Amino acid sequence: MSQEASIRTVRLSKWYGKVTALQEVSLHLGPGIWGLLGPNGSGKTTFLRLVAGQLRPALGEVLVCGHRPFANPEALRRIGLCPEADAMYDELTAVEMVQSLAELSGYGREEAKKRAIDALTSFGLEDAMNRRVAGFSRGMRQRAKLAQAVVHDPDVILLDEPLTGTDPVSRQAILTEIRRRAANGAVVLFSTHVLPEVEALTEQVLLIARGQLVAQGKVHEIRDLMEEHPHHIRVECDRPRELAAHLCGVEGIVGVQFAPQGVEVMSWDPDSTYEAIARKVVELGVQLGSITSPDADLESLFHYLVQRSSAGAGTGADAAVGAAPRQAYQAQVQGPGGSR
Amino acid sequence: MSEPLGPPPAPSLGHGIGVIFRMQTRRLVRGRKLRLGLVSVALVLFAVVAARYAGASGEVGPDRAAELAAAAVRDGIDWGFFHLLVFLIPFLFNAHAIGEEVESRTFTYLSSRPTGRFAITVGKWAAGALFGVALVVGATLVLHVAAYATEPSALVEELGGTLKAAGALALLTLFYSSLCTFWGAVAPEAAGIISALYLAVIEFLFGLLPGYFRCISMNYLGQQLAGLEKGGLMAESAPDVPMMIGASVIAMMAILFLGFAAMVVQISEYRFNRA
């Protein structure tokens, strides 16, 4: 692994017509795992595409291992990209696809095949690698995408929502492989809008919102901030009114509001709230559709951080140490408009 | 898993073109396009051969049979190949070669590799062009054999003319492959419609206009190469084009459009610029 594995951006900006997708992002990332956290549409994917050499900056500069990445073989040979889109070569088998992409990274046919088999095996696809990817489940496709991203031992690994659609076993295989790669000196940058996914991998996190880098720091600092903003849990069920009425009295729950086909619960203590919801569902015999965690809590946190940075607190580690008064937020969510 | 040793050096252009070519070939063989191409060719061949033998129903002498076979090959090549298959086959294999990768978002896998984008364009073009040439030339020879099946001596005597036409068709197929690849690179989301319009207006209709307008159409130059009779409006006003000039112009245009396609792919962000 090369010594100078790094990502450096200087006032990196990207516009799509009149829309600013990314605004003056400056950072330097060395070897290790970095979580790129932000709500949907915040600019995470644009940032990853700029680093991966899929887009050219409108302003500023991005350097991967010291090279500009757009259509630059010297930079691209050191990058492994796992895109978010669920797109694959459906006519090919997994091993054919990963082998071909390894060959495009510079390996000969035999070496590429060996590496493709190794990479697919490391992600638990040894039994399925000779099947066409068209017949793969979402989780299997995700693992095949990850295998092609690391098959050439890149110095910089860019993963866009890598855990989407994965089951717990796949998830474990993916996390283990990412950790191993980072331990060998790679820069691993992965995007997500789910904080627990970051926590499972790293302490180092970048927060991006509305195209701006609003904070950079440790996960626990983010977690501290998040505690000032209640966690949202959306429950889809057949009798939302009944469930809502019973959840109102539960400790830790600060608000319950109706959502399409269910209820949305706001809580300071997500773990005990999940248990309480499960208990109430069983007690009431409610037919459950799903329990999900929308990123509304992150949205509110990011909104706060953007306001903070606009007000002069700046971006960077300092932006992650502030705290909104819990009481103020509580007053806000308990005000007129559907809270308990 | 292999122990990480760092990525290999960027591959050579030839290596990249070879890998893309094999990938594209595999996809074409397993996809629907090759089957569609084979069906189109089979339908044209069936129609021409059926017409040839329908005209020979009853007892005809060897001379008349050879005349009927020659007319079937000439008309079949003129209308079935120069005015239909030579447009359709490259369109099928090349118009969406870049566009489908962009639209389905698999282009990311290729453009994030150190293989230059030039190799992506050329490899894809080469795979489509090879299939196109094989189908068009193969079908021309099948037509010749089927039409002259009952006249073995004429089959051999007339082979030269058919091979000349097959050569012209091969050259045109290479040109149309470049043209379709170019439009696919410029407008991936509308590659089909723009390529079809260009082929219909510039190549087909201009090939029927009087005078020097006709020379805008490479199809006309191809017909001249094949030694076909002039048709269309005021055919006698259309210039005769020497074989070497015609062949050189078509070949140069093929290289030019392929070069433009490679240049567009090289600088494009494609739909990655959509949030």
**Predicted local confidence at residue A327, as pLDDT:** 37
Is the domain of A66 the same as that of A106?
A: yes
Report chain B residues whose CB lies below 8 A from the CB of A41.
Answer: 275
Kindly report, residue by residue over B76-108, the tens digit of the pLDDT: 999 999 999 999 999 999 999 999 999 889 999
Instruction: Kindly indicate the confidence band of residue B199, based on its pLDDT and cuts at 50, 70 and 90.
Output: very high
pLDDT at A49 over 50: yes
Query: With contact defined as beta carbons under 8 Å apart, do A277 and A246 qualify?
Result: no
Within-domain flag for A223:
no
Total number of domains constituting chain A:
2
Q: Among A216, A247, A262, give the residue marking a domain's end.
A: A216
Is A311 in CB contact (< 8 Å) with chain B?
no
**Predicted local confidence at residue B5, as pLDDT:** 58
Within-domain flag for A41:
yes
The two tokens of residue B70 are 């020659």
CATH no. for residue A186?
3.40.50.300
Instruction: Kindly indicate the confidence band of residue A159, based on its pLDDT and cuts at 50, 70 and 90.
Output: very high
**Predicted local confidence at residue B61, as pLDDT:** 78
Q: Which residue of B has its CA nearest to A116?
A: B1
In angstroms, the Cα distances linking A319 to A113, A171, A220, A292, B83 are: 47, 31, 13, 29, 68
Q: Which residues pair with A266 in a beta bridge?
A: A232, A255
Instruction: Kindly indicate the confidence band of residue A166, based on its pLDDT and cuts at 50, 70 and 90.
Output: confident
CA of B251 vs chain A CAs: smallest distance (Å): 29
Is the domain of A82 the same as that of A208?
A: yes
Q: Which residue of B has its CA nearest to A90?
A: B27
Write down the residue that tokens 């078509």 correspond to.
B250
Q: Which residue has the higher pLDDT, B227 or B1?
A: B227
How far, in Å, CA of B87 to CA of A124, rounded?
46
Dihedral sign, Cα of residue A155, residue A156, residue A162, residue A163: positive
Within-domain flag for A225:
no
Which residues lie below 8 Å from residue A145, measured CB to CB, with a gap of 6+?
A82, A83, A88
Within-domain flag for A83:
yes
Question: Which of A131-145, A235-249, B46-60 shows the lowest mean pLDDT across its residues?
Answer: B46-60
Kindly report, residue by residue over B136-186, the tens digit of the pLDDT: 999 999 999 999 998 889 999 999 999 999 999 999 999 999 999 999 999
Is the domain of A142 the same as that of A255?
A: no
Q: Which residue of B has its CA nearest to A21?
A: B275
Within-domain flag for A14:
yes
Amino acid symbol at A320: A
Kindly report, residue by residue over B3-44, the tens digit of the pLDDT: 445 788 889 999 999 999 999 999 999 999 999 999 999 999
CA atoms within 13 A on the CB side of B265: 32
**Predicted local confidence at residue A169, as pLDDT:** 80
How far, in Å, CA of B65 to CA of B116, rounded?
55
Is the domain of A271 the same as that of A164?
A: no
Given an 8 Å threshold on Cβ–Cβ distance, is A87 in contact with B104?
yes
Kindly report, residue by residue over B33-91, the tens digit of the pLDDT: 999 999 999 999 999 999 888 877 767 777 888 888 999 999 999 999 999 999 999 99
**DSSP per residue over A57-99, as a string?**
-SEEEEEETTB--TT-HHHHTTEEEE-SS----TTSBHHHHHH
Question: Which of A141-145, A153-157, A162-166 shows the lowest mean pLDDT across its residues?
Answer: A162-166
Query: With contact defined as beta carbons under 8 Å apart, do B2 and A150 qualify?
Result: no
Question: Which of A131-145, A213-227, A246-260 shows the lowest mean pLDDT across its residues?
Answer: A213-227
pTM: 0.81
Task: Report the pLDDT averaged over residues A229-257.
Answer: 86
How far, in Å, CA of B112 to CA of B7, rounded?
13
In angstroms, the Cα distances linking A227 to A298, A329, B136 are: 11, 11, 69
How far, in Å, CA of B186 to CA of B168, rounded?
27
How far, in Å, CA of B137 to CA of B90, rounded?
13
Given an 8 Å threshold on Cβ–Cβ distance, is A119 in contact with B274?
no
Kindly report, residue by residue over A291-339, the tens digit of the pLDDT: 777 655 565 666 666 666 555 444 333 333 333 333 333 333 333 333 3
Amino acid symbol at A94: A
Query: With contact defined as beta carbons under 8 Å apart, do B112 and A76 qualify?
Result: yes
Is the domain of A75 the same as that of A190?
A: yes
The two tokens of residue A225 are 């901030």
Helix axes B159-186, B117-147, angle to 10 degrees: 150
Kindly report, residue by residue over A192-221, the tens digit of the pLDDT: 877 777 877 888 889 888 888 988 888 777
Please name which of A6, A145, A74 lies closest in space to residue B8, comparing C-alpha atoms.
A74
Report chain B residues whose CB lies below 8 A from the CB of A114.
Answer: 2
CA of B154 vs chain A CAs: smallest distance (Å): 45
A143 class by beta-carbon count within 10 Å (0-12 exposed, 13-18 middle, 19+ buried): buried
Is B99 in CB contact (< 8 Å) with chain A?
no
In angstroms, the Cα distances linking B33 to A87, A92, B101, B102, B142 are: 20, 15, 15, 18, 21
Q: Which residue of A has its CA nearest to B275?
A: A46
Is B114 in CB contact (< 8 Å) with chain A?
yes
Is the domain of A19 the same as that of A147?
A: yes
Given an 8 Å threshold on Cβ–Cβ distance, is A91 in contact with B105?
no
pLDDT at B204 over 80: yes
Given an 8 Å threshold on Cβ–Cβ distance, is A105 in contact with B27?
no
Is the domain of A31 the same as that of A155?
A: yes
Within-domain flag for A13:
yes
Is the domain of A157 the same as that of A212?
A: yes
Mutation for testing the A interface, residue in B26, B104, B109 having most A CBs under 10 Å: B109
Amino acid symbol at A142: Q
Amino acid symbol at A283: E
The two tokens of residue A258 are 């109706």
Given an 8 Å threshold on Cβ–Cβ distance, is B26 in contact with A92?
yes
Within-domain flag for A222:
no
Is A53 in CB contact (< 8 Å) with chain B?
yes
Is the domain of A131 the same as that of A56?
A: yes
How far, in Å, CA of A47 to CA of A36, rounded?
9
With a CB-CB cutoff of 8 Å, which residues 139-178 of chain A face chain B? 148, 152-155, 177
Is the domain of A117 the same as that of A250?
A: no
Given an 8 Å threshold on Cβ–Cβ distance, is A1 in contact with B111?
no
**Predicted local confidence at residue A319, as pLDDT:** 37
CATH no. for residue A268?
3.30.70.100
With a CB-CB cutoff of 8 Å, which residues 81-100 of chain A face chain B? 81, 83, 85, 87-89, 91-92, 96, 100
Query: With contact defined as beta carbons under 8 Å apart, do B80 and B44 qualify?
Result: yes
Q: Among A191, A216, A241, give the residue marking a domain's end.
A: A216
Question: What SS3 state is found at B4?
Answer: coil
> A229-241 in b/e burial notation, b at 16+ Cβ within 10 A?
bbbbbbbbbeebe
DSSP letter (8 states) at residue A279: H
Within-domain flag for A32:
yes
Is the domain of A200 the same as that of A257?
A: no
Is the domain of A150 the same as that of A235?
A: no
| β-strands A156-160, A253-259 pairing | unpaired
Mutation for testing the B interface, residue in A68, A104, A107 having most B CBs under 10 Å: A104
Q: Among A216, A249, A268, give the residue marking a domain's end.
A: A216
Is B26 in CB contact (< 8 Å) with chain A?
yes
**DSSP per residue over A92-139, as a string?**
SBHHHHHHHHHHHTT--HHHHHHHHHHHHHHTT-TTTTTSBGGG--HH
- Secondary structure element (H or E) that encloses residue B28, with its range: helix B13-30
In angstroms, the Cα distances linking B118 to A72, A282, B114 are: 12, 61, 11
Parent domain of A279: 231-292
